[in-house]
Amino acid sequence: MSGGVDSSVTAALMVEAGYDVVAITMRLGMHDTMEIESDKPNCCSLEGVEDARRVAMQLGVPFYAVNYEDQFRKSIVDYFTDEYVAGRTPSPCVICNQDLKFGKLLDLAMQLEADYVATGHYARIEQDPETGRYLLRKGIDSRKDQSYFLFSLTQDQLSRALMPLGGYTKDRVREIARKYKLRTSEKPESQELCFIADDNYKRFLKDRIPEKIQGGEIISQAGDVLGKHQGIPFYTVGQRKGLGIAAGVPLYVTELKTHNNTIVVGKHEDLLKDTMRIEQVNLIPMDNLTAPIRAHVKIRYRDAGASATITPLSETEAEVQFDEPRRAVTPGQAAVFYDGDVVIGGGWIQGASER
How far apart are alpha carbons 331 and 334 in whole angstroms? 8
Q: Is 194 designated active site?
A: yes
How many CB atoms are closer than 10 A to CB 216?
A: 16
How far apart are alpha carbons 125 and 137 in whole angstroms? 6
The answer to whether residues 319 and 277 touch, using CB atoms and an 8 Å cutoff, is yes
DSSP 151: T
Longest dimension (CA), the chain: 67
- Single out the catalytic residue among 43, 44, 93, 96: 96
How far apart are alpha carbons 182 and 54 in whole angstroms? 9
Q: Is 93 designated active site?
A: no
Residue 180: which of 3, 31, 5 has the closest Cα? 5
How many CB atoms are closer than 10 A to CB 3?
A: 26
- Single out the catalytic residue among 43, 44, 93, 194: 194
How far apart are alpha carbons 199 and 47 in whole angstroms? 18
The answer to whether residues 250 and 296 touch, using CB atoms and an 8 Å cutoff, is no
- Coil vs helix vs strand at 30: coil
Residues 6+ apart with CB under 8 A from 70: none
| 15: Cα within 13 Å, side-chain hemisphere | 17
The answer to whether residues 204 and 196 touch, using CB atoms and an 8 Å cutoff, is yes
Residues 6+ apart with CB under 8 A from 149: 91, 93, 94, 97, 121, 301, 334
Relative to beta strand 134-138, strand 225-229 is: unpaired
Q: Which residues are catalytic?
A: 96, 194
